[in-house]
Chain A
Amino acid sequence: MAAAAIGATMVALVGCSSTASTTDGKPALTQFYHQYGEAGVEEAVKEYGANYADASVTVEWVEGDYNQKINALLLAGQGIDVYENNQIDVASARQGLYADLTDIVEAVADEMAPISLKPVAIDGKYYGIPMITDAQLFLYRPSMFEAAGVEVPTTWDELVEVAKKLTTEDHKGLFLGNDGGVGVLAYNMPPATGSGLLNEDNTEVTFNTPALAEGMATAAELYNSGALLMGAPTDWWDPTSFIAGDAAITWQGLWAVPAIVDALGDDVGAFALPAVGSDGTGAVAVSQWNMQVAASSANIEAAKALVKAQWIDDIEWQKTFNVGFGFHIPPITATAASTPELQDGIAKQIVDLTGQYGYSPGPFWTPGMGTALTDAVSRILLEGADPATELSAAADTAQSLLDELNK
């Protein structure tokens, strides 16, 4: 019934066709953004749209479930021209819902970090222009490390021990989120084992390894140790609890660095998720927002011109958008290198760690596979289930979904 509700919505939306041009003869474009948490972003994108000379741009600022809204509009084939997307979907690309932007992106592909291109590349084509790259990793309070007499951990097992030692009556050792670390560890421990989630060809699920099973067993021990901060008023992506000193280490994103530095000065450091198992490596999660053009747009050339002007040609705009509100890494490497805010202190440390350890599974890792893995990790951590059994079952489910996708 739920799926059909979208169908009904689609019928309703068909009546709301967007006009191809305005009275002044300019093509009319509708551009969608999700609700960014940082103050000032909404005003900035609306101002950019209002000042864009070659089209009449209406910016839609979407609060709530953004991905559902754009998916519904794409299915309806009406009312959407340009939009940002952080979940580019292989099936949607193959159904022809996204405009092919290969001609625009290929010209600058050499100038972009390879990891930035991974989420927009499907079947040899580019379906989006990377706008901002977000890095997630551990931030810590050096003063608390010093007080506890511990060093920055270099392995997962060391991290677990350090978290326990850092736990006092006043604060916990580690904040992995209010879910006890289920979401963070499910997505980031597999790359830290060196195996990742999928192979390079996107044909095999690779996370089911003995190293991950052992790491998860240790994670379950950590969950039950009392060293984790849980039940905080906001989740890990908000720095409030870390700034308040409720945890010595937190999983956090680069975007929160300005607020954290404002509050804590230089009492903050960063490290990647440490290696899990003997073949492991550090892991920094890389996620990304990308600008796309709807294949159904009535003004597809004007829409492509807008995304090129804004997200490839206008370097100053990209710098403003990436560091003017919260911090993100511009996907064009020369732009990132010439952004002063990312050239020193904790921000530079995070950018360097991202370059060294950044991991993105790409669009072939779908939400369905993610649910299978997080369900398994949830049962391991919260219910004490056997890691090897759970991971094996999750890998089977994920592999069948991947096979279905590759049919």
Chain B
Amino acid sequence: MTISVPAAQTSRLGRRPSHPRRPGRPRATRVAFWGLVGPFFIGLLIFSVIAIVWSVYLSFFRARATLTPTEFVGLDNYVSLLTDASFLSSLGTFGLFSLFIVPTTLFFSLALALLVHNLPVAQAFFRSVFFLPTAFSYVIASLIWKLGIFNGSDAGVANSLLGILGLEPISQWLTQSPYYWVVIVSVRLWLQSGFYMLLLIAGLQRIPNVLYEAAAIDGLERGPRRFFSITWPQLRPTVAAVVLLLMIAAFQAFDEFFNLVGKIPSARPPLLYVYQVSFAQLDYGKGAAGALVLTAIMVIVALVQARFFGFGTAEDPLGRRSRRRGARA
């Protein structure tokens, strides 16, 4: 007669369990885990966690030219920041900038994604070609735009094109509105559209072909109606993610503005303002307050967007949207 022994008892007796259970990690695995994750974890701790906590601390102190301040000033840095006309105007300008650049980049990226997705041949080639600018340095791209394309001489690329069209050359590309917005928006579209195109192509590939086949049977083979009835609703989660990322990118704008129009107050992003307060004026308390206010704005924007546009929601196969927690229940 054989007696079956429960695994737990076997284990207590010091023998190996006879079937899988949640094992204690062997020493070698633990070493490998911390060897691989440890450096990243330490980096995260030093450069993110401590940095954020330190920022909060600094924002309540008078911290001019010191990171270990002693004079507690309560909310003074926040009051000073939120009553500073320069900061408020940069927030206003970049609110408007976001309202323009987000849909524009989305439109370009979506147009590119649809074009590439529907190509009968060489999809991978064109995907790579349009994605390549994403790998480009913002600083170098800014210099190419500044020195090569939009320089003020008649020989600049933009002015040459204007000459071909019989128009006068423009010498104030980087000083005069609206010219500098043309420069900024074009360099930003070139740098960013490819990345968002890739996300949208991934979204397009997720759409089941059966939907298009069913539509074709009903007589809807192509055209805007097919796009707005099938493609757009199915892309909604991807578009919501792209819009959120674009909003964050717009409020984090720095490199191209710093290099192209850094001294023009009407085109100064909030992040550049915070940078100047912190690193030119050495007022780390007010700078930290500015960074936290910007973070708060981005969090609020993300939450509002999630509420109204559905980022963070899951779709069931029938296309009904529901909150993730609700979906699990």
Contact = CB atoms under 8 A, between A and B. Distances in A.
Given A180-B172, A231-B152, A2 B278 contact: yes
A97 B287 CA distance: 20
A180 B47 CA distance: 40
A366 interface: yes
A221 to B, nearest CB: 15
A161 to B, nearest CB: 21
B156 interface: yes
Contacts of A279: none
B160 to A, nearest CB: 13
Interface of B: 46-47, 50-55, 58, 63-67, 85-86, 147, 151-153, 156, 170-177, 263-266, 271, 274-285, 287-288, 291-292, 295
Contacts, number: 133
A375 B65 contact: no
Given A178-B152, A178-B175, A230-B172, A368 B46 contact: no
A1 B66 contact: no
B175 A382 contact: yes
Given A231-B173, A232-B153, A375-B265, A92 B55 contact: no
B67 A378 contact: no
Chain A interface residue count: which class? 35 or more
B263 A4 contact: no
Contact of B153 (A11, A75, A95, A231): A231
Contacts of A75: 65-67
Chain A contact residues: over half helix, strand or loop, or mixed?
helix
Nearest to A87: B280
Given A8-B50, A71-B279, A89-B282, A231 B172 contact: yes
12 contacts: A1-B295, A2-B288, A3-B285, A7-B50, A8-B46, A71-B65, A97-B65, A180-B172, A230-B171, A231-B172, A372-B86, A378-B263
B34 to A, nearest CB: 20
A371 interface: yes
A2 B291 contact: yes
Nearest to A379: B265
The 5 A-B pairs of least Cβ separation, nearest first, read: A231-B152, A4-B51, A4-B55, A3-B284, A1-B291
Contact of A230 (B50, B58, B175): B175
A383 interface: yes
Contacts of B276: 367, 371
Contact of B281 (A97, A367, A382): A367
A172 to B, nearest CB: 9
B54 A368 contact: no
Contacts of B295: 1
Interface of A: 1-8, 10-12, 68, 71, 75, 89, 91-92, 94-95, 97, 178-180, 182-183, 229-233, 366-368, 371-372, 374-375, 378-379, 382-383, 393
Nearest to B290: A2
B58 to A, nearest CB: 6
A245 to B, nearest CB: 13
A182 B170 CA distance: 18
A65 to B, nearest CB: 8
A2 B274 contact: yes
A233 B151 contact: yes
A231 B156 contact: yes
A179 B265 contact: no
Contacts of A230: 152, 171-172, 175
Contact of B147 (A1, A183, A233): A233
Contacts of A233: 147, 151, 153
A91 B280 contact: no
A393 B279 CA distance: 23
A374 B54 contact: no
A3 B287 contact: yes
Contact of B283 (A94, A231, A368): A368
Given A1-B52, A75-B66, A180 B275 contact: no
A68 B151 CA distance: 29
A2 B279 contact: yes
Contacts of A97: 65
Nearest to A180: B175
Contact of B67 (A3, A366, A371, A379): A3
A5 B53 CA distance: 11
A105 B88 CA distance: 44
A375 B283 CA distance: 19
A365 to B, nearest CB: 12
B288 A366 contact: no
Contacts of A71: 65, 279, 282
A3 B174 contact: no
